[in-house]
Structure formats: structure tokens, C-alpha cells
Amino acid sequence: MQMINSNPQSINWKVAGRAGEGIDVTGIMFGKLCMRHGMNVFAYREYPSLIRGGHNTHQVHASFDPKTSQQKHIDLLIALNEEGISLHKNELNEHSVVFCEAKQDGYDIAKYQDTGATFYDIPMTNMSREETGHFLAQNVVSLGASAWLMGLDIEILKAVIHDAFHDKGETIIEANHRAMQRGYDYAKEHCKPIKETFAKKENNQILLTGNHAVAMGAISAGVQYFSAYPMTPTSEILSSLAAQQVNYNLVVKHAEDEISAINQAIGASYAGARAMTASATGGYALMVEATSLAGVMETPLVICVGQRPGPATGLPTWTCQSDLQFIINAGHGEVPRVVLTPGSVQEHFELTRLAFYLAEKYQLVVFVLSDKYGLESYETMPRPADEYHNQRYGLIEEALPSDDSYRRFVVTEEGYSPRSIPGQAHGLSVTNSYEHDEFGYATEDAQMTKTMNEKRHRKIKGVATEVPQPILIGPAEADITLVGWGSTRLVLEEVVRQASTVGKSVNCIHIPCAWPFPVESFTKLARTAKKLIMVEGNLNGQMESVIKQETDMKFADHIRRYDGRPFYAEEILETL
């Protein structure tokens, strides 16, 4: 049978429908199907801020070549209702295929023929009812049909479905296997394949979101206490860590609000535990006062913040990069902090591990600043090690002087002091929200106030040597150098790979740590650029302002997005 599109290099697949129709689980299963063939996978999710209903999508971009972002034009669209076509018709072209249920839903496919796509009206709901007794397995029917069109191994799909429903019993697994087989057989009889058969390649990858990676990074770093109030886009961190309490020396607390969450985490850290909290930026706004408390207490704390569009509630389930300046400056008084800005899923894992080390060694607040796009999108990464051994820092292990001369805030050249924990013999100290002397007693003395401020800020000198430095992605020399931070890295990598399609050589500088800003290493990379263009997801160019503040570098232009949607590589290439 002749194929519509024989390009074997990549798959761009999308399912669209209402919440409650299994959109997310379908996308996850298709992503795992591709991953288990040995492909690299990136999956992007969209959903409105509704408990049920509204338009939901899950898009999977997979290839044996690197893939780090979604793609605009779709190979196969699973439209579980007419909105699934009407809202995405500009993503279709003559190489696209659409699975739909036009007859059942009562609309005419003909009005979408100008897209150039090939439409197949498949009775997915009826097949589901016949095989399972319920309409909900229509998504599994669509997976079977997708496997045929895309040349994917049905046995691998069976294993993926088994794993997805293993906790529901063999009856449910068998019913879903039948539904999948019906979809596969129907497509084999009625539809033209659009890809050559994909042979399986071995790899050691796992598929996870940025949230999962943050949770896994925290566990690998030895987190012992996590408290949070659930708020999109960081809620998965809370649920992921809560599920792991039975496996690790970990307490997870669903707090009554964000103020309680951060204060609980500070208390746990003060008691000697490695502690963390997380929230969206709107939730973190309630934590700002306690951030200053942690600063003056010199108590280690890791805070993961997920950006979403504001002001106020804004767009609760969409993405942005509009809170960088807020996080860099949050807290009254001059509070030393580190702001890490991971891009890929692997960076979310690695920088969360690093955050615990920096927080404990330097006794300060470390932010892992991400966004909805980075935290809720799925991406493959190499499986990390099964075991990590973490050294503890700053805690006094030897016996303290019996004359009670221990000074919790003794002035040191490094800016941090040996730390006792409550109950430690002769380690008693006063710790509260006031400016203090070396013992912790409140003071308003001018010289001591000056000394303590300078002591705390000396930490930044040391921490600046240990934070991740900017990364050059692409050729050493290029016509255009794009600069981005955080999750924008994902799309800019795709731009670099596709730049030849617009006749340009492009590289990019990714900034994985926004504060303290890596002046020397960034300047070294930027000075070799022929043309610097800043790319970030906010209106006012917040990272561009930080760079201008900290360096003498100037940008030729900028590309900004602030409508809640992520960048697309195709759109950036068109702009270039």
C-alpha cells in the first residue's frame, strides 16, 4: 500500500478532545510507545482551568534524532470531537491525516477539505462499546489505529497498555487490548500508512515531566521534608513526592496554604532536615515574607517556583517567563539567594540536586525557577543512577565547648557559620526574625548590623563559583546568536537544528542560572556573536534587563511572547 508521507525521521501526533476523555493518558501512552521504540520524545499539553470539560490536547513529537519541543504541523490528529479539528485546522497540511467521528458527532468533514489533510471517519466510540461495554476506550482504539499508520510495533503498544492499567486488573487490561486491536485492524483495512515501519532501537531513557524531574532530583538529593499547597503548574511535585513517602525517609505535608507551607519547610530545615517547598508564582507571592525570615535565620531552603501568566490569577494553566525580576528581588531587605533556571527535563533533575547542595553549604534560599511549559511537558532523558550518596554540609558533628561559647552566627570569611540543631549539647542559640549578633541576640547596633549584612552577602562570592554557567548550543560561530533562559532552551535547540531551512547559521546561549548572574562567562560567549537576539516569554524583556544591568552587552533585537503560549521553532525561524 502506498504511503502518504514516507519521511521516517519523525512523528508529530496529537490528540484533542474534552477533559474526561482520557486525553492525557492517551498522550502519555503514545509517548511511551515511541520511547520504547528507542526514540527521543517531547510531549506538550494544553488544557483550560476547568475541573471537567473544555478543550484539551496532548501532542507528541518523536524521532530517533533529538527532539526538544513541539512542532506546529501535525502528521496525525486524533479529533475526538469537531473542536479537535476546527481549533487545529491551521496545523494541518497535505501530509496530515485526521481520525475523527464526524458521522457520530453530526458534522460534515467536507468543510475542512481546504486543509489538504486526509480524513478518516472511524467509529471509535462504537468499537469501544463493543469491546469494553463503555465509550471511554475510544482513545485506546485511536492508539491502535495510530500504531498502524505510524508503522509502530503493536506488541510494544500492548505492553504500554498493560503497564497503564496494571492496577485495574486483568479484565480491564484485556478489554483495552481488544479495543486497541480493533483500532489497529480497522486502520490496516481502511487507511494508508504514513510512515515506514520503525525498527526498535535500544536505549536507557525514561519519559517524565519537569515536575517529575524536580521531585526525582529532590529525592536523589536526600530531601526529608516537603510541604506545599497544590497550585498549577507545580502540583505534580506534591503528588509525586507524596507517593514516595513509603519508599524514602521523607515526610510530605499538604499544607493549608502557602504561608504555612514555607514556614513548615523553614522549621524542618532549622531542625536539621533537608527541606523544600513549591508553588506557582502567585502562591509564592504569599511566601515572600518568610523568604526574608529564612534569609536572616541563614536557614537552608529550596523553593521551586512555576511561572504562569499574571497579573493576579491570570491564566492558571498556561505559561510565561514574566516573574524573573520578582524572584530575583523577592523579600524585604537585601536577602542573598540563588535563582536556577532549568530548561530541559534533565536540567530540572540536575539543578534541583544542585539546589539542595548550594542551599545547605551556603545556608541560603535557592530557587528552582521554571514555568508551566517546562514543568508540565514530557521529555525523554537518560535514566539516572539508582543510588546517590549525599554529603551533609555546615552541621556541627563534633562535641561543642561545654562553656556554651558556641556562636551560631559567628562572622566568617565565607559568610556562613557552623550550624547546630535543636537539642544538640551546648549548641543552644537564639534564632528569630531580628537582626542579631553572633549569638543570635537581637541588636540595633549600627556596626553589628553592617557586619551581619556584609557577612550574609559574602556567601554570593563563593556560590558564584559553583552555579552552572551559560551554555553555547550549536556551532561555535553563527550569523545569529539567540539568547534564552529556562524552558525557552527547548525551542531554541530546535531552532538551531532547523536553521538551515531559512538559509541562516544560528546558535544560542542558554542561561541556566539567572542569579548571581554569570557575568564573565556570559560576556565571553556573547562577545563572539555577530548578532545577539534575546528570546523570552514576557512583555518587558526581564532577562534582557538583567543582562544590561550586569554587563555591557547590547542586543540587536528581541523576540518576546506573552500570550500564555510557548514559542514554536517554526515561528522563530519565520521571524529570523
Q: Where in the chain is the domain with CATH 3.40.50.920?
A: 471-575
Note the pLDDT of residue 9.
72
Kindly report the three-state secondary structure assignment for every residue of 131-179: HHCCHHHHHHHHHHHHHHHHCCCHHHHHHHHHHHCHHHCHHHHHHHHHH
The pLDDT profile of the chain, 576 residues, written as one tens digit per residue, is 344 444 457 899 999 999 888 899 999 999 999 999 999 999 999 999 887 778 999 999 999 999 999 999 999 999 999 999 999 999 999 999 999 999 999 999 999 999 999 999 999 999 999 999 988 899 999 999 999 999 999 999 999 999 999 999 999 999 999 999 999 999 999 999 988 888 888 889 999 999 999 999 999 999 999 999 999 999 999 999 999 999 999 999 999 999 999 999 999 999 999 999 999 999 999 999 999 999 999 999 999 999 999 999 999 999 999 999 999 999 999 999 999 999 999 999 999 999 999 999 999 999 999 999 999 999 999 999 999 999 999 999 999 999 999 999 999 999 999 999 999 999 999 999 999 999 999 999 999 999 999 999 999 999 999 999 999 999 999 999 999 999 999 999 999 999 987 788 999 999 999 999 999 999 999 999 999 999 999 999 999 999 999 998 999 999 999 999 999 999 999 998
- The answer to whether 309 and 282 are in contact (CB under 8 A) is no
Q: Where in the chain is the domain with CATH 3.40.920.10?
A: 10-203
CA distance 155 to 244: 30
CA distance 547 to 553: 7
Task: Give the DSSP letter of residue 395.
Answer: B
Note the pLDDT of residue 516.
98
CA distance 12 to 41: 10
Question: Considering only CA atoms, which of 61, 38, 344, 378 is closest in space to residue 205?
Answer: 38
CA distance 566 to 53: 22
Task: Give the DSSP letter of residue 528.
Answer: T
3-state class (DSSP) for residue 83: helix
Question: Residue with C-alpha cell 553592617?
Answer: 450
Handedness of CA 280, 286, 288, 294 (dihedral sign): negative
Note the pLDDT of residue 8.
57
Note the pLDDT of residue 3.
41
- The answer to whether 399 and 410 are in contact (CB under 8 A) is no
Task: Give the DSSP letter of residue 199.
Answer: P
- The one-letter amino acid code at 347 reads E
- The one-letter amino acid code at 189 reads E
The residue length of the chain stands at: 576
CA distance 272 to 224: 9
CA distances from 105 to 78, 115, 124, 184, 190 (A): 14, 20, 11, 22, 20
Q: Where in the chain is the domain with CATH 3.40.50.970?
A: 208-382
CATH 2.40.440.10 matches 10-203? no
3-state class (DSSP) for residue 11: strand
Note the pLDDT of residue 386.
94
CATH 3.40.50.920 matches 471-575? yes
Beta strands in 150-265 (DSSP E): 205-209, 225-228, 251-254
Question: Considering only CA atoms, which of 219, 220, 261 is closest in space to residue 243?
Answer: 219
- The answer to whether 537 and 561 are in contact (CB under 8 A) is yes
Question: Considering only CA atoms, which of 487, 190, 225, 458 is closest in space to residue 356?
Answer: 225
HSE, CB side, 13 Å, CA atoms: give it for residue 168: 11
Q: What element of type H or E holds 544?
A: helix 542-550
Class for domain 208-382, per CATH?
A: alpha beta
